[in-house]
Amino acid sequence: MSDGKVWLVGAGPGDAGLFTLKGKEVLNQADVVVYDSLVGQGIMTMIPSRAKKINVGKRASNHTMPQEQINEVLLREAKKGQKVVRLKGGDPFLFGRGGEELELLEEEQIPYEIVPGVTSPISVPAYNGIPVTHRDYCSSVHIITGHKKAGAEYDIDFEALVRTKGTLVFLMGVTALSDICQGLLKAGMDREMPAAILQKGTTARQKRIVATVSTLAEEVRRQGIETPAIIVVGKVCALADKFSWYEKLPLAGWKVLLTRPKDLISSMAGKLRRMGAEVLELPAIRTEPIEENPELEKAMEVLSEYQWLVFTSPTGVKVFFQQMKKYGKDIRSLGQAKVAAIGEGTRKKLEERGIFVDLMPEVYDGASLGKALAEVCDGSEKILIPRARLGTRELLIPLEEKGIHTDDIPTYDTLYESSEFIDEKKEFETGRVDCAVFTSASTVKGFVESTRGLDYSRVKAACIGKQTRAAADAYGMETYMADKATMDSLAELVIKMKEGMESWK
């Protein structure tokens, strides 16, 4: 028997924050990921780049791969000794055909695990203020597949469902909404029973229509609905307006594209999600240390001779200390050097390494850092600036004017990359993304590399500072800039953009 193994992992209803901790842990270790169409975009971006990806589709009336073939794919990859993750929308055992996928694995003695997912019949109503059970209204909840073959009658005992007096949740039933409502009415359900249809729950495009069993189908025809959506029938639907909470969040209903260096976990994404935004977190750039670097090696030999070390990014801090270790240096090698940082993110990375910053400009850009540094130097100092190869000259000009000796040494390259799963260009062309958030000029350039041919006037860009805004302006984006170059200020800017405060342009 091979060493391969299969994990059936539930990806939840769409919101990346509802993906389980165990699901994410297993996904991070995957060699192969077999995924379907209902997995949320935010979770798709978590798939490791090194993993082999197999799209098996599976959406109503549009199956990319038959179920029997999916089963064979899981078996084949596991027999190769791979760690295989079968990533499924919702929960693998609730109309996810997870049991069918296990039967062949069991027969072939392939080890497997189940990682349950947050399921849509509970979570989507919750995001719409509908508790599926409530002591004053019902004592049971029933989950039914609304899917049926074309031309076939429903194999559902509607009379039994009506007798339960519980909440009924129909999945995959949007196209048969009228038939479902008629079936319940014929079985004796009160025509005034509250009912709701809930579109794209837990995402920025969630929408609900609340009516009654007798009027819901007509309301859907009038207002329109998109799939995926679920149908909820029961007295608890009347609580939707009273208990609605998601739309009260300041960024509810907004989908935000956040670009970042691939190797950095974004605190910005967390801030935006807590305020209700659906965040599409994409690695627009990745950084690679310059391995053969004789200039840096030479500087490492005389580290104690520098009066100042200057860092212009969190990545610059990380790479510099990695290189110190490579060359056999530790913190004692820095001697009496003072440390300057361009902003809060860089300062934080230094403090994590036990180093407090001596100088940080009020405005977080290269020109301000260079000016502030020149003001505290008398001209005799020797300064080391380990940073990106593409670093701007604005930092150096004030130092050169004062005649200060500066070793400006590239320590890493910035490379641009596109998402394997998300067509960023199409997201903006179809209006599915409300704004892009840029935390550096390099992430703007990375975004542009990924979206060649896009009309950039369609892009509302929230920028952290002047250099970032200038980069976005150069491509004709509709730009907005934070009051301060901090993540909190940038998050506040996004809220103001949503509120339509054009004066903040």
The tokens describing 150, both together, are: 């074309």
**Which candidate, 477, 281, 305, places its Cα nearest to that of 382?**
305
User: How far apart (Å, rounded) are the C-alpha atoms in residues 349 and 357?
Assistant: 10
Q: Is 131 exposed, middle or buried (0-12, 13-18, 19+ CB in 10 A)?
A: middle
Bridge partners, 208 (sequence order): 198
Neighbours of 4 (CB within 10 A): 22
Whole-angstrom distance, CA of residue 29 vs CA of residue 13: 22
Q: Is the peptide bond before 410 cis (omega within 30 degrees of 0)?
A: no
407 is catalytic: no
DSSP H helical ranges for 302-365: 314-326, 344-351
338, amino acid identity: K
- How far apart are the C-alpha atoms of 368 and 442, rounded to whole Å? 18
Q: In what order do the strands lie in the sheet with 255-261?
A: 338-341, 308-311, 382-388, 405-416, 278-289, 255-261, 435-438, 460-463, 478-481
- Sheet of 207-212, strands arranged across: 141-145, 167-171, 229-233, 194-199, 207-212
Q: What are the angstrom distances between the C-alpha of 360 and each of 127, 130, 312, 440?
A: 43, 49, 10, 17
H-only helix segments in 209-331: 216-223, 240-243, 267-274, 294-301, 314-326
Strand segments (E) across 109-162: 112-115, 141-145
58, 255, 371, 445: which is the annotated catalytic residue?
A: 58
Q: How many residues are present in the chain?
A: 505
**Residue 6 and residue 382 in contact, taking contact as beta carbons nearer than 8 Å:** no
User: Is the distance from CB of 418 to CB of 449 less than 8 angstroms?
Assistant: yes
- The residue from 31, 36, 365, 434 that is catalytic is 36
Query: Is residue 58 among the annotated active site residues?
Result: yes
Residue whose pair of structure tokens reads 């509970």 in the numeric block: 122
Catalytic residues: 36, 58
